[in-house]
Structure 1
Amino acid sequence: MNLRTLIGLGGIAGIALAALVGTAPAQAHNAFVSSTPVAGSVVTEQPGLFVITTSDALLDLGLDSSRTYLQVRGPGAAQLYYGDGCATVDGASITMPVQLGEPGEYTVAWGVVSADGHPITSADPGASDIAFTWQPADGQELGGGYSAPPTCGEAPAEGETPAPDESAAPAAPAAPAETATSTPAADTDEASTAAADILWIGAGLGVLVLAAAVILLVARSRTRSADGADTASGPGDPPVAP
């Protein structure tokens, strides 16, 4: 087997490895892109629909999923929650209708699930809640808030819908359900992703090992052929014709 054949075998192995890498599923997680309202903005008219947009398509787990959420709360010490709790997945975004209440500082906590099953929230390192200022213009209708995050499709319990002008003892904001506990579904998704990564890495290593074995066998064959030719001719004998 000559050098040209050896190079050809190495090229075939390289093409096979490139094909494996090219067909491997993408494992990049989504990243925050934008929000409505914009962080740091001053809002003077009811936004109507709050939006969080990410870098790629999201996994739609249904309106009753605790891992996909928008929580709008504020203002003042007695933080109230606004909206109906129904965060809808729309491609790379989630949306929820909201009617803001009294003027002041508001924040939006959010959580989504990437298409690969990886959950992402505003509480993650490097992320943050969306903060904005509500300064309603004349004629804007104000909404009522809830003392606890609303659940989609469920009416608030009695006593959880105080009027904006009622006094209430300050309450610590409730942590999003997604960050408080992990669900078996999340564990299963992450385990499946890890297993897929291992399979693709193993396949790539297998191609490399096979290519190395072929190259080694060819090199040994060429060495033995050369040694045999030298032994057959012997010292002082005329060179053996190729």
Structure 2
Amino acid sequence: MRIRRLLGIGTLTGMLAAALLGFAAAPAQAHNTLVSSNPVAGSVVTEQPGTFAVTTNDALLEAGGSSNAIQVRGPGAETLYYGDGCTTVSGPTLTTPVALGQPGEYTVIWQVISADGHPIDGEFTFTWQPADGQELATGVAAPPVCGESQAPVESGTPTPEPTFTTQTDSLETPEASAPDESSAASSDILWIGAALAIVVVAAVIVLLVVRRRSATNDRSRDDRPDDTPAE
């Protein structure tokens, strides 16, 4: 009976620790990861894609401003951007309409809001070699913002680097583009440490209970009268 009780305490402790460890690991597993893109990274494109897309392994969160964004940067000495800056979230996929301009290597910079609320971003390149008959678009000097008029291309105009923000409708601070990985990692470590501490405390309690019951049994045996007849 005592053994069953102790086994029950040990099982309950193990289940509690496993639940806490699973909860602690959940935030780290919630970050989305890139599954595919259109165009494919490193590919050679000969016809206007029409729609650019990035697809992750989980549903994306819809957020205002430029929290979810795709920017397409073209080749040339004076960097130009293409598209209108407007994006659409559909499940795990973010899309934007883009028409490409002059041939060359293009860079796609993207950012999405992961299922756990953290922004994740990345970039890839592809080569644009338009086939005969493809209509070429005219780029703009600054990263486009959805709903705003596009700046004309002027020779010698400095081109700002693309940045993202999760707070406003303009592209402002590059710091906002990176997830707070250190904060998430610290939270995970705290949860795992708490779970391990519970396991250790539970193990100590079980050990103390076992020792106490063993000592009690020993005293009981010592207090019993010696009924063994003398020879």
Question: What TM-score, normalized to structure 2?
Answer: 0.79
1:153-168 matched pairs, under 5 angstroms: 153-156=147-150, 160-162=151-153, 168=155
The code of the aligned residue for 1:146 comes to V
Using the TM superposition, give the Cα deviation of residue 154 of structure 1 relative to its aligned residue in structure 2, in angstroms. 0.8
Question: Counterpart of 1:225 in 2: which secondary structure?
Answer: helix
User: Cα deviations across residues 43-77 of structure 1 (Å, max 9, x unaligned)?
Assistant: 11110000111222222113x23x32111111211
Tell me if the contact between 2:35 and 2:55 (Cα under 8 Å) persists in the aligned partners: yes
Q: 1:218 aligns with which of 204, 209, 221?
A: 209
The equivalent residue for 2:17 is 17
Count matched residues. 218
CA contact (8 A) 1:47 1:99 kept: yes
**Any idea what the Cα deviations from partners look like across 1:115-170, whole Å, max 9, x if unmatched?**
21222222xxxxxx2211212222222111100001111112xxx223xxxx7237
Residues 2 and 202 (structure 1 numbering): CA distance in 2 closer, same or farther, change over 3 Å?
same
Partner of 2:163: 176
Q: Which secondary structure state, in structure 1, belongs to the residue aligned with residue 209 of structure 2?
A: helix
Q: Secondary structure at the match of 2:223?
A: helix
1:33 aligned residue: 35
2:199 is the counterpart of 1:208: yes
Distance 1:218 1:195 in 2: 35
Distance (whole Å) between structure 2 residues aligned to residue 130 and residue 111 of structure 1: 12
1:9-44 deviation digits (Å, cap 9, x = unpaired): 211222233344445644322222221111221111
Aligned to 1:232: 223
Q: Which amino acid aligns with 1:107?
A: T
Show the counterpart of 2:101.
Answer: 101
Contact between 1:35 and 1:53, CA under 8 Å: does it hold in 2? Answer: yes
Letter in 2 for 1:145: G
Which letter does structure 2 place at the counterpart of 1:39?
Answer: A
- 1:48 paired residue number: 50
Q: CA RMSD in A?
A: 3.1
Find the aligned partners of 1:112 and 1:196 in 2 and give their Cα distance: 22
**2:81 paired with 1:81:** yes
Is 2:52–2:96's contact at 8 Å kept on the other side of the alignment? yes
Q: Which runs of 5+ in 1 are unaligned?
A: 123-128
Mapping for residues 61-72 of structure 1, pairs under 5 Å: 61-62=63-64, 64-65=65-66, 67-72=67-72
Task: With the length of structure 1 as denominator, give the TM-score of the two structures.
Answer: 0.75
Counterpart for residue 119 of structure 2: 119
